[in-house]
Amino acid sequence: MTTLAVIADVHGNLPALDAIIAAVGGEADAWLCAGDIAGHLPMVDEAVFRMRELNALCVSGDHDRALVNRQSKVDSLAATWVLRKQQEYVSQESKAFLAALPEKLELEFEGFHVLMMHGGPLNPLSQRVETVDEGLLASFPQDILIVGHRHRPMVYVKDRKAVLNPGAVGLPVDGEKRARVMLVDLPSLHVRIREIPYDPAPLYLRMHQMGYDERYFNCLEAGRWVGFTNPQKRLPVLIIGAAIYGEILAELIEKTPDKYVAGFVDDTPALQNRMVAGHPVLGKVIELDQIARECGVTEIAVAIGDNTAREKVSNIVKSMGLRLATLVHPQASVSPSAKLSPGVVVDAQAYIGPHCILEEGVCIWPSVSVSHDTVVRRFAALKPSAVVGGCSAIEAGLKIPLGSHWPSYSKITAEMVASQS
C-alpha cells in the first residue's frame, strides 16, 4: 500500500506546514503539493526549504508564477501588496525553485495514473474546479485529478475515477482555521481529510515585522477573509500624470470611500517636488517602483488622456507588479452585473447598464450612457455625454466623440468614428 500526503495552497504559512508534517509525516510514502507555496503570508523561503526536504512533487500555482514573473493579482490589492514584498526578500534560490515548477505533473502510484495541477484542465493555473460533472471527468484520461486553488476540500471518488482537492494549508476561506492535508491510500483509493491545529505565533511575529495590516491577521483568526474591521479604512493610490486629467482623477479618488491620493508621478521637470491639487509630485515614472514601495501603494491610476500613451504606461505599471486602479465616481451608476476590468475609470453621472463589459484601461467620462450588453474594448475612451445603445461593441483604442449618439447593435470602428467627424 502507498499513502500519499497531498497538500495545496501553503502560501508561506510555515507553522501550519510544520504542524502537518509532524502530524502525518510518519504515514506518508510520498508528498504531493498542488501549487501556491508562495503568496499571501511571509515565510516562503522556509516553506520552499521544507518542500525540498520532503522531496515533495510540486506543481506551480498562480501566486508562485506571479512572484517569479513580477506580476500583480488583479483581483486582490492585499495579495498584490504581499507579492511585491516577496519579490524583494524571497531568495533567488527559492525563486529558481518556484520558476522551475511545472504547471502540471503526470504520476503513477500502485497502477493509478495521477494528473496534478493547481487550477484545472481548462487552465492549470487559474481554473476553479467547483463541481464534478461528466464534462470534467471526460477532460482528463488519468484515474485521479488533484487540484488546489479554491482553498476548499473536495473528494469525488467513483470506481477508479477521482477528483481531489486537499483544501488549504496556509490561508483559510471557509471558517476552518486549522491546516488541511489529504491522505490518499492506494490501491484502495481511500481518502481522508485531516485538519491539524497549529500555533501561528511565529507567523504573526514575522507579519508584524514586515508591516502587514490587519486583514491577514483577521483572516487567520476568523478562518475566512473578512477584510478590515474598520469598514472606512482607505488605501493609497498613486496617480501617473499631474496635468488636468490627473487633477480630475484626484478629485474622483478623494470622493471614494475606500481610497485616497498618495501623490502624483510625472516626468515633467517643472512639476518635480511641487504640489498639484493639494497632493505632492513624488518623482518620475522611472522611479515608480521605489516610490510605490516607500508609500505602501499597490494601486496606480494612469491619468493620460491619449489612449495609446495610456496603454503604454499601463504596461509599464503592470511590469512592476503593480495593479491598475479601477475607479468609479460615487455619482456614477454601474449595474451590478457589469464587469469592470483593471484600469477602468467611470466618472460622475455616467451610466453603465446590465451585462456590459469594460475592458482594461477604458475611460468613461461624465454623463456617458452605455446601455446593456455592450462591450468596450481595451483602452477606448468615451467623451462626455456620449450615448451608446445596447448590444453594441466598441473597437479597442477608440475615442468616442463628445455628445455622439450610437444606436443599439452598433459595431463602432475607427472608420465609423471618422465618418461622423
- What average pLDDT values come out for the chain (421 residues) when binned by 10 residues? 97 97 95 97 97 97 95 84 92 97 97 97 95 94 96 94 96 94 96 95 90 89 84 84 95 90 92 86 91 88 96 94 94 96 96 97 97 97 96 96 95 89 65
CATH 3.40.50.20: which residues of the chain? 235-323
What is the pLDDT at residue 211? 85
C-alpha cell at 295: 508609500
CATH 2.160.10.10: which residues of the chain? 327-420
3-state DSSP assignment of residue 281: strand
Question: Can you tell me the distance from the alpha carbon of 215 to that of 136, in angstroms, rounded to the nearest whole number?
Answer: 35
398-401 contacts, C-beta under 8 A, 24 or more apart: 398/307, 399/307
Question: Can you tell me the distance from the alpha carbon of 241 to that of 273, in angstroms, rounded to the nearest whole number?
Answer: 14
Peptide bond into 187 cis (omega under 30): yes
The CATH homologous superfamily to which domain 327-420 belongs is Hexapeptide repeat proteins (2.160.10.10)
**190-196/235-240 β-pairing:** unpaired
Tell me which fold the domain 235-323 belongs to: Rossmann fold (3.40.50)
Q: What angle do CA 221, 21, 34 make, to 5 degrees?
A: 80
Question: Can you tell me the distance from the alpha carbon of 317 to that of 299, in angstroms, rounded to the nearest whole number?
Answer: 9
Q: How far is CA 208 from CA 97, 289, 344, in A?
A: 27, 23, 33
The one-letter amino acid code at 135 reads G
What is the pLDDT at residue 172? 92
What is the pLDDT at residue 421? 65
Q: State the architecture of 2-196 in CATH terms.
A: 4-Layer Sandwich (3.60)
- Helix residue ranges per DSSP H, 54-200: 62-68, 77-89, 92-99, 134-138
The one-letter amino acid code at 106 reads E
CATH 3.60.21.10: which residues of the chain? 2-196
- Residue 76: Cβ within 10 Å count: 17
In the sheet that holds 57-58, the strands lie side by side as 57-58, 30-33, 2-7, 179-186, 190-196
Contact status, residue 83 vs residue 321, Cβ threshold 8 Å:
yes
The one-letter amino acid code at 299 reads E
What is the pLDDT at residue 420? 76
- Residue 25: Cβ within 10 Å count: 13
